[in-house]
Copies of this chain bind each other. A is one copy, B any other.
C-alpha cells in the first residue's frame, strides 16, 4: 500500500548498479570473507580445508504469497531455510549468495525490506554469517534462490546415514507450529491465529546454533525437518537402514501443548506435528550414552529392521505413511 502522493520508486526506475547500491549496505557482512561483493566471485575462508554447501529456491505461488508475507518475512525465511541445512550438517554458517528475480514494477522499498530480513535472520541465527554476493534479475514471478555454506570446524559432517540402532531420536526446535500457521492462512483465519504460528510459517527462526551443539554432543545423524517429521525421519531411516520409532506418548504430549498454544484441537495439532512441513527443526540421533544437550527433546528410538522389513518410520509399534510436500503435484497453480 502506497499512501504517499508520489508514485513509489520501482526497480524499473533505477539501474541495476543503483539498486545494488541501495541493497548492499543493508546486508549482513560475513566474518569469513576475504574478498566481498564487487568482483566476479567472493573469496571465502575454509579454515579446515573443507566447506559445506546447500541451495534452495523460494517461488511466489508454491512457496509464498505476497498477501501473507512482507519483504522482511521473505528475507528471514529465505535465510533461515538455507541456514538450517548448514546447521543440519553440524556446521557453522559462514556466508550465502542471494539471487532475486523480480518484476520491474517491484518497489525498491520491498527489496530493501528483503535485505533487512536477510540481515536480521543472520544476526539472530548465525552471527558472523553474511551475504557475500548475488544476482539481480527480472522475471514475472518473484523468485529467490539462496546458496548457503559453512565451516565444519574440524568435525566430521553429520549425515542422514549415520543413525545407529539404539540411538535416541531427538529434535531441537518446534514441530507442527509452521504447519498450523499455514493452515490458518489457507483457512483465511489469519486474524484469529496465534502470532507464534504465523511467525513460524512466514518468518521462521529455527535453532541454527543447535547444529553445532548437537555435533559437539556426539550426534550420529542429522537433517532439518523441511517436508515433515515423518517424511524426513523416513529419509534417515532409508539412508541408515534402520527403523525410526517415534514415541507415541511424546508425540501426543507435544500435540496437547501445541493445541493449547494455537487454540486448535489435539487431533489437528497431532497431524501438524507428524505431517506439517517448514518448521526447520533439527532432527538428530544421539548414542544412548550421550547427554542430550539443552534444547533437544527425545522423541523416539532407532531400532533394527526386522527380517525382511524395509527401513521406515513407526509411531509406537505401527508403521506410519510418509506424507509431505511434493512441489509438482502439491501446487494448485494459485499465486495469491
A interface residues with partner B (beta carbon < 8 Å): 11-12, 14-16, 19, 34-35, 38-57, 59, 61-63, 84-86, 88-89, 91, 95, 97-99, 101, 104, 132-141, 143, 145, 147, 149-150, 152, 157, 159-161, 222-224, 239, 326-329, 331, 335
Contacts and interface: CB of A to CB of B under 8 A. Distances in A.
Contacts of A51: 43-44, 46, 51
Closest 6 CB pairs of A and B: A46-B46, A145-B145, A41-B52, A147-B147, A40-B88, A40-B85
Nearest to A59: B139
Given A45-B49, A99-B145, A133-B55, A39 B223 contact: yes
Nearest to A138: B327
B12 A59 contact: no
Contact of A331 (B35, B43, B62, B138): B138
A207 B240 CA distance: 43
A84 to B, nearest CB: 8
Contact of A97 (B35, B61, B147): B147
A108 to B, nearest CB: 11
B40 A97 contact: no
Contacts of A160: 38-40
Contact of A42 (B52, B136, B327): B52
A139 B133 contact: no
Interface-centre pick from A40, A42, A85 (highest chain B CB count, 10 A): A40
A30 B268 CA distance: 45
A43 B156 CA distance: 10
Interface-centre pick from A14, A41, A42 (highest chain B CB count, 10 A): A41
B53 A44 contact: yes
A41 B135 contact: no
B138 A328 contact: yes
A230 to B, nearest CB: 15
Nearest to A137: B57
Contacts of A56: 99, 135
Contacts of A145: 55, 57, 99, 135, 143, 145
Given A57-B99, A59-B139, A44 B50 contact: yes
